[in-house]
């Protein structure tokens, strides 16, 4: 979502916003790399156990305040496991309730924006499309070049060949890409003019095959650490106030499945839940959606009790229509 995300919040958020890149994410010079690379450096486990503890502590030490964490999609999955007390003991991945409690004392809240609780219920079409690629991702250790740079150059002579080639290909692909994506990934009509183009041309990161391989392997396998010591699917020991936001048309994080699995969260999370009607996985980050749930997010940050009761579901259709109901009735 990048730097454009917070623009959609009504009246401006007024928050000091930090946007760290987890390893192998970010564009151009902003990309976070591990050098020299060693086998497995970009796996999900490393992000959870190494990156986020450092990032969280750095921000807390520099601001002197508790922080509120907003995680979108797969990034939110990594933050969820950090908050749930996952760590690496030097030999194996572990989970500790004591560590989850210790971390919760430094965190104000967690906002999980269309974050899959696991990947077992993902759209079968997406599974069939990506599953055959898993052996390749496991064999090759490469960064997937969705984007190469954030150069602002406009003339051919001012940009590298790879940047020119990327822009040339995207000029043909971007207009038709929304029609090629499987159902439940993007509702193109929810985007304002230029939003999807900007997302593809400027904001896509270049993930590493380690990380992508992890995600594909969880379509059919257990959502767990590589060594099998921590079951991420059942480890929801988040102990900070939590707001979960899902969309009715999302088939990467299907709302019904995720809301049902959210019952695994600890009672300390006092989870509140929002459901957006008519949106899917990508367009939930577009301005139209942000204007729909932005006020609710800000209200949650100021006073979670004023948003919705724990156990209820806030259903949003547009900025003027909202219903707070029991979760089983939607």
Residue 328's pLDDT is what?
Answer: 54
122 within 8 A of 84, measured Cβ to Cβ: no
Q: Which of 6-10, 170-174, 182-186, 196-200 has the highest mean pLDDT?
A: 182-186
Confidence of residue 82 (pLDDT cuts 50, 70, 90): very high
Rounded Cα distance, 52 and 88, in Å: 12
pLDDT in tens, 275-308: 999 999 999 988 888 888 988 998 999 888 888 8
Cβ proximity of 86 and 49 under 8 Å: yes
Q: Check pLDDT > 50 for residue 2.
A: no
Closest CA to 245 of 285, 218, 305: 285
Confidence (pLDDT) at 10: 46
Distance CA 324, CA 10 (A): 21
DSSP letter string over 176-199? HHHHHSPTTS--GGGSPTTHHHHI
Provide the token pair at 60. 């807390």
Name beta bridge partners: 93: 88
Closest CA to 87 of 71, 74, 98: 98
pLDDT tens readout for residues 105-157 = 999 999 999 999 999 888 888 888 889 989 988 888 887 766 545 555 445 55
* Chain-centroid distance, C-alpha 191: 19
What are residue 86's phi and psi, to 5 degrees? -85, 140
As a whole number of angstroms, the distance between CA 95 and CA 76 comes to 18
Residue 251 clears pLDDT 90, i.e. is over it: yes
What's the mean pLDDT in 188-193? 78
> What distances in angstroms separate CA 85 from CA 64, 186, 274, one per listed residue?
22, 33, 25
């Amino acid at each position: 979502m990048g730097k454009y995300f917070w623009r959609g919040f009504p009246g401006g958020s007024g928050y000091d916003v930090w946007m760290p890149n987890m390893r192998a994410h970010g564009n151009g010079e902003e990309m976070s790399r591990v050098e020299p690379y060693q086998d497995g450096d970009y796996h999900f486990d490393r992000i959870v156990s190494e990156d986020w503890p450092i990032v969280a502590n750095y921000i807390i030490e520099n601001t002197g305040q508790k922080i509120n964490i907003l995680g979108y999609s797969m990034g939110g999955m990594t933050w969820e496991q950090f908050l749930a007390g996952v760590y690496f003991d030097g030999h194996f991945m572990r989970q500790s309730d004591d560590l989850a409690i210790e971390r919760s004392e430094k965190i104000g809240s967690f906002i999980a924006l269309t974050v899959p609780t696991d990947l077992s219920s993902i759209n079968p079409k997406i599974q069939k499309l990506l599953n055959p690629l898993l052996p390749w991702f496991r064999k090759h250790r490469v960064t997937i070049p969705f984007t190469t740079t954030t150069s602002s150059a406009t003339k051919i002579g001012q940009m590298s060949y790879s940047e020119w080639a990327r822009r040339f290909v995207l000029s043909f692909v971007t207009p038709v890409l929304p029609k090629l994506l499987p159902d439940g990934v993007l509702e193109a009509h929810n985007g304002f003019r230029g939003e999807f183009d900007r997302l593809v041309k400027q904001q896509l990161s270049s993930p590493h095959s380690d990380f992508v391989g992890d995600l594909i392997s969880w379509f059919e396998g257990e959502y767990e650490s590589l060594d099998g010591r921590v079951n991420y699917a059942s480890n929801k020991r988040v102990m900070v106030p939590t707001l979960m936001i899902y969309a009715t048309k999302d088939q990467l994080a299907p709302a019904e499945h995720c809301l049902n699995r959210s019952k695994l969260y600890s009672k300390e999370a006092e989870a509140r839940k929002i459901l957006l009607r008519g949106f899917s996985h990508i367009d939930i980050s577009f301005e139209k959606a942000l204007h729909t749930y932005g006020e609710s997010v800000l209200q949650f940050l100021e006073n979670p009790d004023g948003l919705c009761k724990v156990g209820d579901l806030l259903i949003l259709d547009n900025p003027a229509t909202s219903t707070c109901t029991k979760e089983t009735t939607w």
